[in-house]
Amino acid sequence: MSAPAASLTVTRSARRFALPPALTRLLHNRTATAGALLLAAVALVALLAPVLPLQPPDASHLALRLKPVLTPGHLLGTDQLGRDILSRLLWGTRLSLAVGVFAALMSSLLGSTIGLAAAYRGGLVDAALMRGIDTLMAFPYLLLALAIVAALGPGLFNAMMAIIVVNVPFFARGVRGAALSVVRADFMAAARLCGLSDLRIVFGELLPNVMPGIVIGVSTTVGWMILETAGLSFLGLGAQPPQADLGGMLGEGRNLLQVAPHVATIPGLVILLLAIAINLLGDGLRDALDPKLKAGGTARSRARTDAASGEERRRGLPAPLALARLPLALRGLRTEFRVGRSVYAAVGGVDIAVARGEAVGIVGESGSGKTVTALSVLGLVASPPGRIVGGEILHHGEDLAEVPLRRLQDVRGGRIACVFQDPGTSLNPLIPVGEQVAEVVRRHAGLGRRAAMARAVSLLDAVMIPEPAETARRYPHEMSGGQRQRVGIAMALADDPEIIIADEPTTALDVTTQAKVLRLLNDLRRERGSALLFISHDFGVIASLCDRVHVMYGGRVVESGPVAEVLRHPRHPYTRRLLACVPALGSRTGRVAPIPGLPPSTDALPTGCAFAPRCDRALPACTSGDIALRPVGPDRHARCIRADDE
């Protein structure tokens, strides 16, 4: 009775004391940790200034003027009035740090409030606030600060006020810009539909999304603020003697640079140190606060997917067959993602062969590995975390997983071309579409600028874009989704590819447009003899285009064969159930029959058949050992021990 209760408490308290994920990520970032440690050390020493055995910072001993560093009793020497530099430095750092942090917080608070209000309210509020900010920005930055101090009178507090005011536009503009893109997101509309008040929406929904920007803004401006206050003090407008702050010390030491360089150099170094520490920490904070970086880390992906050595990848593969000479043959392809301690076997041993001029489909649900399979072919899986750990990718017998990068880049977009799902994001929004097509032509066909453009126009014509010469000068945003996808196809055709890999190319399109694009792909394939590796979740699309189909589930092919055969007589229960899920037009009586459960996550695939937990025909043998993809008819394969049952 008490044991479960006790273990429950343990889990609860363990969760409470576990580090928040953002902090853990921050600690993993070495430069940020270094910055944090440095800043903490400086801040600690500054905070401890009152209790440290220091000489009074303002006590002057004219007899001990300008003593050098390491004088007994004056570790860092003395200044022109014989005051202990170490003491003044610590007290000065304390003051400068406090002023910098306070000023940064205040101006970010004011600026962010203005920015959020402007972005959320829009219209007149936005116009009024932003014109006010513009007015403030119309004055040169330091001049404005000087004018404010001149009006208020010199003094550290007034200098701080001036610096707060001149920094408000920086935050207001930045936050407004970041918030504007968030305001239009659907989740903001959803929040209104949840009955949340405007205040809750601004602070609960909008603010967290712009917070990283504010945090990095604050952390970088703390540095500036220290510098600016130092600047004003340097000019004699900030801290007034005998009060010590870093800028004032620098200013006082300036005249003695020849005689006693340490008087100015030491506070200068501390300012430098503080600025560096604060900026390193700020960058780290930004990265840590963005949950999107949790999975992939901050590393940039490489030019191609990492692959294990050929020997390792080929271990356990059967000897190469004649099909290795095909335009594309995947043999036992395995691609994994390592995220933290989990290993996702996204592709777990896939064999797919594409013959010359053949249209091969891969059908599967999200997470089935179909896209990773396609991306692995050209090494387009992001690395890290992706890695090809097994199998071969044979292009006429050449293993693309181990050819030199130059060779792979020649094949990419040349002999093997890609068409991606979202034409909106795969085109560069700043370059006219004609030039983008021409660029691919130049890269692969080695034509000159003019010849490439002419070829680009003829390619646009080939994909049935009306008035191709005019359209070539237009930007992606000026075109419809269907037109953009045609441009994507035109780019794929640039070097008369042997194979086009198309990953859900029509999923984002309207039905009537989809029908046209599918017809176009089909015509192009027949005219040009290009083979097609077509990935889709939609059996209807596959059926209207492909000769053969591979059904994927849990990272493996569970069934393959000619499309018509597979549709007429599916041999794997998953294929059968998947087909029953598709609402068929014109058969109102046959309502959809969903598959219970969820597709498995590829980091925890069950032993044996991955579909067994959802299958109504599963036997104990289905989960006891690996199940091979075996022939079940002419050109038909299924990974099911009951494929022959009726």
Binding site for another protein (CB under 8 A): 185-187, 189-196, 200, 204-205, 208-209, 211, 291-292, 295, 365-367, 481, 510-515, 518, 537-544, 564, 567-568, 577-588, 591-596, 598-599
Nearest CA-CA partner of 334 in 550, 557, 630: 557
Which residue lies nearer to another protein by CB, 42 or 509?
Answer: 509
Nearest CA-CA partner of 235 in 145, 124, 347, 130: 145
Which residue lies nearer to another protein by CB, 496 or 523?
Answer: 523
Q: Closest distance between another protein and the C-beta of residue 294, in Å?
A: 8
Q: Which residue has the tokens 């306070």?
A: 102
Which residue lies nearer to another protein by CB, 272 or 295?
Answer: 295
Structure tokens at 497: 């590819």
Distances (CA, A) of 153 to 140, 241, 485: 20, 15, 64
Structural contact between residues 182 and 210, judged by C-beta atoms closer than 8 angstroms: yes
3-class state of residue 143 by DSSP: helix
Going across the sheet that includes 359-363, the strands are 416-419, 499-503, 531-536, 359-363, 548-553, 556-562, 636-638, 630-633
Q: Closest distance between another protein and the C-beta of residue 486, in Å?
A: 16
Angle at 640 between CA 635 and CA 642, to 5 degrees: 105
Count, residues in the chain: 646
Which residue lies nearer to another protein by CB, 69 or 207?
Answer: 207
Q: Closest distance between another protein and the C-beta of residue 339, in Å?
A: 11
Q: Closest distance between another protein and the C-beta of residue 45, in Å?
A: 36
**Inter-axis angle of helices 156-183 and 141-152, nearest 10:** 140
3-class state of residue 181 by DSSP: helix
Q: Closest distance between another protein and the C-beta of residue 589, in Å?
A: 10
3-class state of residue 635 by DSSP: coil
Which residue lies nearer to another protein by CB, 64 or 515?
Answer: 515
Q: Closest distance between another protein and the C-beta of residue 485, in Å?
A: 13
Which residue lies nearer to another protein by CB, 89 or 206?
Answer: 206
Q: Closest distance between another protein and the C-beta of residue 194, in Å?
A: 4
Structural contact between residues 427 and 487, judged by C-beta atoms closer than 8 angstroms: yes
Which residue lies nearer to another protein by CB, 14 or 592?
Answer: 592
Which residue lies nearer to another protein by CB, 529 or 583?
Answer: 583
Which residue lies nearer to another protein by CB, 21 or 241?
Answer: 21
Nearest CA-CA partner of 90 in 279, 244, 261: 244
Helices and strands in the chain, H and E counts: 25, 13
3-class state of residue 400 by DSSP: coil
Which residue lies nearer to another protein by CB, 77 or 423?
Answer: 423
Establish whether the linkage from the previous residue to 384 is cis, with ω within 30° of 0: yes
The alpha carbon of 572 is separated from its chain's Cα centroid by a whole number of angstroms, namely 38
Classify residue 426 as exposed, middle or buried by CB count within 10 Å of its CB (0-12, 13-18, 19+): middle
Q: Closest distance between another protein and the C-beta of residue 586, in Å?
A: 6
Q: What is the dihedral angle through the alpha carbons of 472, 475, 476, 482, rounded to the nearest 10 degrees?
A: -40
Which residue lies nearer to another protein by CB, 23 or 582?
Answer: 582
Q: What is the dihedral angle through the alpha carbons of 390, 602, 294, 385, rounded to the nearest 10 degrees?
A: 10
Which residue lies nearer to another protein by CB, 48 or 189?
Answer: 189
> What is the spatial distance between Cα 411 and Cα 325, in angstroms, rounded to a whole number?
16
Q: Closest distance between another protein and the C-beta of residue 360, in Å?
A: 17
> What is the spatial distance between Cα 185 and Cα 440, in angstroms, rounded to a whole number?
34
Q: Closest distance between another protein and the C-beta of residue 424, in Å?
A: 12
Q: Closest distance between another protein and the C-beta of residue 469, in Å?
A: 26
Q: Closest distance between another protein and the C-beta of residue 346, in Å?
A: 13
